[in-house]
A and B are shown apart, each in its own frame.
Chain A
């Protein structure tokens, strides 16, 4: 991918399309934006780079009218404006594609695109035929064919994103803001979306691209603004900077971008999964005949776009979901029907993707969360009596050992930051000899410091002889930590490769196509 030459971006219009001056916004206890200046030229792709929690999303929410700044100005085409809310922003030509899609799954593509700007027949009724027509026309103009009557919930994630972009285009957006758009895309889909963005920029639309992915930002942006802890810390042009430079700006210090995982010394097979078939909540088979094995002392990384059955696979392995076929064998023992507690007692640990759902009880004190999987046994419980003192002692020990930042062990787990919550879970799950460690998106939404910490912990567990199963949608994380890499596509494992020789593009291709020689020409109508 070539880096665009910035001298080609026309500079002839004196006023930038968008200018944000001195934007400041505080929430109780935190300064989200501190005097931020940003300007975007027409036809420019401008990247906003920063860690999770740096303030990028707040800034864009202010632009979109979802929040009001405490101080500062917004100028469109040189004129100061007050944006009162999303409909006002839309009127002014600002459209946002959110990180978590703002789509209603049970409604159709047409309904979703037109919501808020419906095509009417009279004052009350919708003109559904005209609506369909307009969707088709718009899709043709930008080369993605979407079936207006398809329910959005049935589309793949990549296609859902196109619906989001279509929403913006339908509203004649001149400034398009995309919040972490590639978080859920395969490398191939990312390339396609970048193509769409470049076409839009060439037509004069301005694009603000929020991301924390350094290589992508370097690939697509004309200019990059880096935000750290609510302040702008630097502005760069891709040809004049590097990943290391950007990382240092983002974090404020030299960052070790990859952990040196060293040599692995795999031992005997610990986990053997054969011909596993697993249904999702609606009864549909989302995992079909999956087989793989993980050895002691190695990390098997499972790469795949979210929604290809990974969550269900992981839940089955840790006992939260029953497979309809196949076997799971742990250290020679058949554990297919075992529940979470039985597996816990067989030295299996789990770091869930949704830590607020499976990992923690937010309203309970930290101490109760630390012993959440051990509460029923000695020393925390004798018969039906709980031993509060023993629980508290263990909690304080864990907090110290894993450096969880909290005033005490008795405050609610909900008061911790995301990174500290994850450390809490790690303190619980890592702190014993394990046969098998299962991690699902372990560093999602965390700051770089926490990510480093957890990656180091994973490697040390591996070196201590644990078999590690790592599921992640972040291909970089998989490449960094895995000794072997499996690719999951539509409920099957399509290949397993050696981590040392793995090629990012090849894996990305597998994630997107499942290994068929031709990528199927997917239209929205046939996408899953």
Chain B
């Protein structure tokens, strides 16, 4: 385009050109998803409210906005809920950049939670200044180890990370279930859970009971520029992106795709484990036996919304955090179950994938940045890849 005399970063140039197009498609997808959600609400309104209510969706969305943004409690909730989404979203997004699909963020999250809770219980009476970092570290290490496994398997046996990580998610659930029922169990509790982490809990910065802004939010916000810098300004980031874009060329460039794959999956596990650790130490304070979380799918949504770019992921995480923060109020005021957010999320993803619907509806032009480029490498390695050689 224009030739400046001032050298502009190569990535900045790329972003500005197709960024507008991508933002338009993302925005369009979200709007269309809201429309679909509205239609679904109208259709199920007889069951929810007893009679057909064509305005149910307006009540619901209004409550959503109110619950998420229009009160200090709501805002705190938004950020608190966004925190694990941002971190787990970075996990999935980082994987994408290396041509890997980390559906295992869910399992890595659980292991991170488990690791941090185990360390936290052990250090429950120690001074915070020691307990908190060590507990976080334990969670991060557990998550990293759980990311290392599929990474190593992919690099050295060719087993595709999609099925392996999904299996590991189920295994993680069982591990947590066992750990909470046996060694870490809190005696005399009303439901199966571990004891509290005590002093290892992350301090609260502001807010009232039930709506506490914990310091973990800062960790998530800090992670975004760090991951961005690593990916786009560091040498190792260049290697990760090259392996994701063209593993054969990466080998010729002297990189070692196997090592990069293992490293990236481990780092992804680290991030998702950190998300788990932060959730336990900052919000939960203990780990229940059946920890119901949809963080895994949420992370995928966030990563795709953000097109695997850390800043995009920040936006995606905050959006999803807001939706989930406002959902309880939506359920109370309009009667629409909070599961509606799961549906909205899936539909947003659908429209992101079927972006030609979005383009057709909003009369947008075809731009060069489609979904995530590196996805080609993800899918082409499905049947076993010859690039994992060296």
- Least Cβ–Cβ distance between A358 and chain B, in angstroms: 4
Could you tell me if B386 and A281 are in contact, using CB atoms closer than 8 angstroms? yes
> B10 to chain A: which residues have CB within 8 Å?
365, 367-368, 388, 391-392, 409-410
> B342 to chain A: which residues have CB within 8 Å?
none
* B292 interface contact, C-beta 8 A: no
> B333 to chain A: which residues have CB within 8 Å?
none
* A246 interface contact, C-beta 8 A: no
Could you tell me if A320 and B251 are in contact, using CB atoms closer than 8 angstroms? yes
Chain A residues touching B, range: 35 or more
- Least Cβ–Cβ distance between B68 and chain A, in angstroms: 36
Q: Which of chain B's residues 3-59 have a Cβ closer than 8 Å to chain A?
A: 3, 7-10, 13-14
Chain B residues touching A, range: 20 to 34
> B252 to chain A: which residues have CB within 8 Å?
318, 320, 340, 350, 352, 358-359, 372-373
Give B232's nearest chain A residue, CB to CB. Answer: A386
Could you tell me if B253 and A386 are in contact, using CB atoms closer than 8 angstroms? no
Could you tell me if B245 and A340 are in contact, using CB atoms closer than 8 angstroms? no
Binding-face segment, B209-217, B234-242, B317-325: B234-242
> A367 to chain B: which residues have CB within 8 Å?
10
Once A363-B245, A368-B10, A392-B10 are accepted as A-B contacts, the answer to whether A386 and B251 lie under 8 Å apart by CB is no
Report the number of A-B residue pairs with Cβ-Cβ less than 8 Å: 89
Q: Give complex CA distance A392, B9 in Å.
A: 8
> A373 to chain B: which residues have CB within 8 Å?
252-254
Could you tell me if B238 and A392 are in contact, using CB atoms closer than 8 angstroms? no
Once A365-B14, A372-B249 are accepted as A-B contacts, the answer to whether A339 and B254 lie under 8 Å apart by CB is yes
> B225 to chain A: which residues have CB within 8 Å?
none
Q: Give complex CA distance A340, B236 in Å.
A: 18
Could you tell me if A376 and B254 are in contact, using CB atoms closer than 8 angstroms? yes
Could you tell me if B7 and A357 are in contact, using CB atoms closer than 8 angstroms? no
Q: Give complex CA distance A372, B9 in Å.
A: 17
* A142 interface contact, C-beta 8 A: no
Q: Give complex CA distance A392, B238 in Å.
A: 15
* B390 interface contact, C-beta 8 A: yes
Q: Give complex CA distance A364, B241 in Å.
A: 9
Q: Which of chain A's residues 228-255 have a Cβ closer than 8 Å to chain B?
A: none
Give A369's nearest chain B residue, CB to CB. Answer: B249
Q: Give complex CA distance A404, B73 in Å.
A: 58
Could you tell me if B254 and A340 are in contact, using CB atoms closer than 8 angstroms? yes
> A381 to chain B: which residues have CB within 8 Å?
235
Could you tell me if B14 and A385 are in contact, using CB atoms closer than 8 angstroms? no
Q: Which of chain B's residues 203-234 have a Cβ closer than 8 Å to chain A?
A: 233-234
- Least Cβ–Cβ distance between B225 and chain A, in angstroms: 15
> A320 to chain B: which residues have CB within 8 Å?
251-252, 390
- Least Cβ–Cβ distance between A59 and chain B, in angstroms: 28
Q: Which of chain A's residues 347-368 have a Cβ closer than 8 Å to chain B?
A: 350, 352, 357-365, 367-368
> B14 to chain A: which residues have CB within 8 Å?
365, 410, 412
Could you tell me if A364 and B245 are in contact, using CB atoms closer than 8 angstroms? yes
* B1 interface contact, C-beta 8 A: yes
Could you tell me if A364 and B235 are in contact, using CB atoms closer than 8 angstroms? no
Q: Give complex CA distance A364, B14 in Å.
A: 10
* A30 interface contact, C-beta 8 A: no
Q: Give complex CA distance A14, B241 in Å.
A: 63
> Taking each of B3, B242, B249, which has the highest tally of chain A beta carbons within 10 Å of its own beta carbon?
B249
- Least Cβ–Cβ distance between A342 and chain B, in angstroms: 8
* A124 interface contact, C-beta 8 A: no
Could you tell me if A358 and B249 are in contact, using CB atoms closer than 8 angstroms? yes
Could you tell me if A360 and B249 are in contact, using CB atoms closer than 8 angstroms? yes
* A102 interface contact, C-beta 8 A: no
Closest 3 CB pairs of A and B: A341-B254, A410-B13, A358-B252
